[in-house]
Structure 1
Amino acid sequence: MRLPEVISQKLFNKSAVGGEEVKISFAVLFELSTITVAAFTTKEDKVNILSYCAAIFSGSIPDSIETLDSLFTGIAEDLPGTEKIEETIFGLSQEYVEGDGIKPEVKNQLKNLVEELSLKPTGFVVISEALAYFLSAKSGMQESAIFVGVYPDEIQVSLMKIGNIVEEKTVAHTDNICMDVKSALADFKQEVLPAKIILYDGTMDLSSTKDEFLNFAWDKESNFLHFPKIEALPAQTTLQAVVGAYTQKSLIEMDGDIKKIKPEDVGFLSKTESTENQIETMEPKQVERDEPKTRFLPRPKFSVPSFSFKPKLGIVGGFMIVLVLLVVGAIMAQLFYSSGAELKIIVDTKLFEQDLDFTLDPEAEEVDVEERIVPGKTVSVTLEGEASADTEGTKLIGDPASGKVTLYNKASGSKTFAKGERLVAPNKIRYSLDEEVKIASASVKIEAGSETKIYGKTQTSVTAVDIGPDGNISSGTDLVFEDFVSSDYSATADEDFSGGTSREVSVVGKEDIANLRKQITDSLQKKAKGDIESNKEDKVTVVEDTIESEIISEKLSEKVGEQAKSVSMSAEVKFTAVGFNPEDIALLLKQESETDFPEGYQSIRGFSRQTILDKKVNKNGSVDFKVSFATTLIPDVDKDEIAKLVAGNKVSELEKELRSQKLVSGFEVSFSKFLPFITPIHLPKQDKLTIVISTR
């Protein structure tokens, strides 16, 4: 099929604005699971997207010719245009490209497609590269980020560093998209990843996907320095990026070949230019996907057969006439009078995020929205636990040395030494007398005209005060009394001392006991929090920083100082904490945020994320909080109003009627049919019409 001929038949020769001739160009995007065709015009380097259509892509370019035929024709049916169709630019996924060119087998397939559809190819751009340059140009800086292309069956993950795509990987799209992306990031060579994730899908809203990414622990699961910023691009951004790679001045005539366009050279702005002024956003006529068929449907066409009857047909003929009339009547009845129908209204959700400061006050009795005070509650629970550990205390055990000594009295009077009197050896080892000892005084002996002083002396036994081998002194060692001068009293070892031994053993230390107490308390604290929060009557969420513990009783297997290689403890611990009722927080958040909701939206799913950014426990027991919270909003659609609007009307007019409802994105109709092969053309009356609100 030669597309320009068909399109020329469909389009007007002059534009709707002043009769001026307009040149229309096309963009064809081959993404992983989606084909998109867009029509756009350029004037003075300004690109204006007129309309686009999209469909599911099977992955086979040859098999996509018929789909592209339908997409081109769909645009032509709706678009005021011109007699001349201009160039076509291609947007391709990275998997179709190697180096600066298209893979040979893909290039041949594209050439066949171009000939079959009579297109005039201008060039191509890699979609992820176009996005990178587009966003960098828009922000005025060369950004670094993780691009995540979200498609029905696959996920494309690209790493952008300073405005350039340096790594890409495609993985299967499972039920857990965050784990899919994590597995792709694990194969990247970068040790530290940029703390920004950008989600994109050419045709779908990604609000719910963004919620999943916000609730995933990226800073713990992947190589991010901190939790990354999560952004979801609007549905048309990929299309804008590819179409932005087009300017009349920069493109070259290609003689049917397809050449790569560098985004930084073609159609993208410098840091000093305004991206907003170069690309106009559009309100698309229709975005279609094969599965599910959630879209505005075209007007159905019906044809009713005509019958001619001849008189005098007899009984059989009369019966046949009646039968035909019954069948025709049944068909007409179902066509015009459905017995019941369900109209599913499709709406898009929005993610609403906000920060809030409030105080948790145990003395407050109710929520004070104006002062942002939430009542706190002091709760307690007593638990039993036990723990054991190897001992880390040590001490020396053994025997003291002992031996015999001779005590000398050098004084003029006798001396009695009590039991336990201390002697000190040269090595500072102390000994004590084993018994009380009395020593005669010193005397003087005169012989041959000379005097000789004779000391009083006596022998006794002593024992070292401390254990250990150092007390085994040798015979002849002189000792002195600890409390007397050696000029009056002294002692000498009469023999080699013996029996002094020592060795180091493990014992229970004070630190061992302290560690066991902490171990039991720490192990029970999490359970205490859970026990408090599981009490349905209290409905309390505990603030962890307020938890205090007190050991009421404890029992040890060994006492402090006793020899043991291990020690165990059982203890009863009382935990006290300040908590709050989550319903009070929800009430405060609701009251504070409802006034900030976009007009026409409401929250029906509660708060999907509540993150404590900061908290401070005050001396009076109150706690100051800073909380970041998020909720999913849906349009506040009046089902009764819609039922009144469409009841009894033609199905073909639903598109026009529902487009007047600004927040409605699409619809689906299902009928209760007694003839399965006939679809009614009218909706039933209001009492038989069920309106269902659904999100996507």
Structure 2
Amino acid sequence: MSVDHIVYLTADDDIASLRERLRRAQADPLILVIPDNVAVLRQVVGVRLVQRYSAQMGITIIIVTRDRATEDMCRRYGFAVYHDIDKIPPRKRGGIDANLLAAAPRLPPVPIYRRLVGAGFWLVAIVLVMVGAVTISLAAGLVMPSAVIRLVPATEMLTTTINITGGPQIRVLDADKGQLPARSVQVLIEDTGQVETTGQKRVPDAAATGTVVFASRSLGAITIPKGTVVRTSTGQSVRFRTEEEASLPAGAFATVRVPIKAIDPGPNGNVKAGTINVVEGTLAFQVSVLNDEDTKDGSEKQVSFVTLQDRATLRDVILKKIQANSYSELLKAIQPGDILPAETLTIAVNESSFDKPLDAEGTYLTGKVRATVSGLVLDGDDLKTLVLARLRDRVPPGFIILPDSITIGTPGSVRYSDGVLTLQITATARSQAAIDRQDVQRLAAGKTVEMAGQEIARRFSLARPPEIAVERPFFGRLPLLTARIAVISE
């Protein structure tokens, strides 16, 4: 096993470095060790990044931390959280070598006062203090004033336009240069189609028919079997078969007329009278043959057949169908917020098959094409990180950007060549005045409703004046104890 099974974060780690460290880690399960002074996973965007990486790579990520805010945030998103590596159950560790776990750095020891909390003396003392505090709080709640302050922070929309360069060859996000890593996604698509064939040719259709007269060359009776073959003797030989059995009576020069049909269909069977004069087989020593009339009704017809161009046309028709469906199929393979420019789509044909060979007769040609469709994807989280970095200098003093409010428009000026993608995006985000609840409590404590409202309005950027409600006011003033003042920011 490699040390990539355990990633130990430091106070210098931010979203960008966390993403890079996750990409370098190639292990399952992966243990993230997070000291108290690391704040990256106290943020929703950080936890979602880890959650997304876990889902994409199909690996289990275990969190080791003693920081309460980090623990709460990670548990909220379904991660297993432990206070020490040694606390991870063996079944969760998978195949991680015990020596690797033993050598891994540990979190700093728990302060002495936290360990003493479990001792009996301290436990009793804490319980007594809590009981006293609850008693005092209940008593205070009955006689002391309380207040609720409702604030609606001011907001301001921010907009930025960013020129982006992306590609698989870019390994790390660079906000200043607008460079983003890009990954390739692909799907296998199969579709069918049909076209009319365009080849035209004439082929034999009906066989010629007629009659011949057999004449006896012997004195005895002769039977002429059905299927006896006769033919012409000049030019290209044309062969016929008799259509029925016939008998020649005994006696010299006896004759019989028998119907015949050309063996091969087509107009070649239409021969002139007197040209059929050969009997095939041993019967030729006993009889002679001659057609005293022309044979007729041998014909041909025009048919369609498959050409090389028909195959090429059908292949193009199917590929257009695949191309029309490929974008929606690729979108199913990416995450919400990712960008997949249609200009990066490529189609590689894996297999083509047709229901008829070349030159085969038929009015229609049906075929099937199986192809791999690929495209280049920009990660949605990377895009948000880039937008946040670009908007940071535009945030008004005292305001913060709300990451979930970031909206990225449809990319423009898209260019894709030699694996490098360039495009332009316009993004908007909502910034909101930062409200420090403790500052609000301190400003309002002990003041009249009017004075508190004025102080708060001067200190913070608000969309409308504060709403202050006081229960059991003391000489028309808010409570002196800040704990008795609730601040709600909408």
TM-score bin, normalised by smaller chain: 0.3 to 0.5
Normalised TM-score (structure 1): 0.35
RCO greater where, 1 or 2, for CA within 8 Å and sep 6 or more? 2
Please give the TM-score of this superposition, normalised by the length of structure 2: 0.48
